[in-house]
């Protein structure tokens, strides 16, 4: 049997940033950040130097004497980050640290944290449900479901080469529709007469065995609504929502799957549009044999 070694918290070289900040309300910002160093029994001069440096790194050098209650949520999370890095840990753990903040602040602090982590060069494990947050911060992302690891890769790889329909669905990469590939070529969408050419498949999918049932991923970024003439697919406008100068548009594909894309113009509800698909962008997932 393997041995279990118990190490006191102050000697584990771990830094932790919690979702709810977990700052001590009766202590100043400076005292909160200094606490891990005091537990390591460093000299007072060293504690002051490293505490000041950590607060400057997170942009709170002028707020050392304030109480946590006098700070905004974003500032409190910066204090928690300073406390986590001040002891120069070998590993930083983040438990959804930005989920309590509003969107604009979350995006700003996310970029700041990503830059700081790269400057520090410290390994970090960051748990989040926000896809954009994960890809902004991480060099490598692990997609997990029900305690299992679905795929672990660089963010660009996840988006460009999802390993399974579950990964594509979780990341909301586009529309997944049942389909069938014939040995003679062509991708037949279930529930319709639509046949798509193999040239639209990404290289890895095109190299996979052709014949059989499966699911086809049509990324929203690969499909452009336009005229019916010359389009690879015919779709129906299901819904539109205005969003920051454009329209988030849901299109019903042959067979019933919904594809969300972005258009610059308002489209009439229930109207027919053509979907023009860029070459080598679709992904094929064969159904596993029973």
User: Could you tell me the pLDDT band of residue 191, with boundaries at 50, 70 and 90?
Assistant: confident
Distance of alpha carbon 69 from the chain centroid: 31
User: Could you tell me the pLDDT band of residue 289, with boundaries at 50, 70 and 90?
Assistant: low
Length of the chain: 290
As a whole number of angstroms, the distance between CA 47 and CA 233 comes to: 65
Average pLDDT over residues 191-196: 89
As a whole number of angstroms, the distance between CA 225 and CA 196 comes to: 16
Res 1 pLDDT > 60: no
Mean confidence (pLDDT) of the chain: 91
User: Could you tell me the pLDDT band of residue 142, with boundaries at 50, 70 and 90?
Assistant: very high
User: Could you tell me the pLDDT band of residue 2, with boundaries at 50, 70 and 90?
Assistant: low
C-alpha distances (whole Å) from 221 to each of 73, 218, 255, 266, 290 are 35, 9, 20, 18, 33
Sequence ranges of the domains in the chain:
9-139, 172-286
Res 6 pLDDT > 90: no
Bridging pattern class, strands 195-196 and 187-189: antiparallel
Phi/psi of residue 23, nearest 5 degrees: -85, 150
User: Could you tell me the pLDDT band of residue 185, with boundaries at 50, 70 and 90?
Assistant: confident
pTM greater than 0.85 = no
As a whole number of angstroms, the distance between CA 105 and CA 270 comes to: 38
Choose between 26 and 262: higher pLDDT. 26
Average pLDDT over residues 101-108: 89
| Token pair listed for 120 | 């520090």
Four-point Cα dihedral 95, 100, 102, 105, nearest 10 = -50
pLDDT in tens, 215-229: 999 999 899 999 999
Residue 230 · residue 224 · CB < 8 Å: no
Q: What is the pLDDT of residue 123?
A: 93
Q: Tell me the HSE value of 171 on the side-chain side, using a 13 A CA sphere.
A: 28
What sign does the dihedral 57-59-62-68 (CA atoms) show? negative
The domain made up of 9-139 has a fold known as Rossmann fold (3.40.50)
Res 141 pLDDT > 60: yes
**C-alpha Rg value of the chain to the nearest Å:** 25
Average pLDDT over residues 256-283: 92
């Amino acid at each position: 049997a393997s041995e279990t070694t118990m190490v006191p918290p102050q000697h584990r070289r771990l830094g932790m940033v919690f979702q709810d900040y977990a700052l001590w309300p009766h202590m100043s910002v400076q005292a909160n950040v200094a606490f891990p160093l005091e537990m390591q029994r460093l000299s007072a001069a060293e504690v002051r130097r490293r505490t000041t440096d950590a607060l400057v790194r997170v942009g709170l050098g002028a707020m050392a004497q304030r109480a946590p209650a006098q700070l905004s949520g974003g500032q409190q999370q910066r204090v928690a980050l300073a406390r986590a890095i001040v002891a120069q840990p070998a590993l930083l753990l983040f438990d959804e640290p930005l989920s309590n903040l509003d969107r604009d602040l979350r995006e700003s602090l996310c970029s700041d944290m990503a830059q700081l982590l790269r400057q520090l060069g410290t390994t970090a494990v960051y748990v989040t449900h926000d896809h954009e947050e994960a890809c902004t911060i991480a060099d490598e992302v692990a997609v997990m479901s029900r305690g299992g690891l679905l795929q672990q890769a660089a963010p660009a790889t996840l988006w460009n080469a999802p390993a399974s329909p579950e990964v594509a669905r979780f990341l909301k990469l586009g529309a997944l529709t049942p389909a069938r590939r014939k040995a003679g070529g062509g991708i037949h969408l279930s529930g319709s007469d639509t046949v798509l050419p193999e040239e639209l498949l990404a290289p890895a999918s095109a190299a996979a065995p052709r014949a059989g049932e499966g699911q086809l991923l049509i990324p929203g970024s690969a499909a452009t609504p336009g005229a019916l003439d010359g389009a690879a697919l015919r779709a129906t406008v299901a819904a539109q929502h205005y969003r920051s100068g454009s329209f988030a548009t849901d299109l019903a594909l042959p067979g019933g799957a919904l594809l969300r894309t972005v258009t610059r113009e308002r489209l009439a509800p229930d109207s027919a549009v053509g979907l023009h698909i860029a070459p080598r962008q679709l992904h094929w997932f064969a159904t596993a044999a029973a």
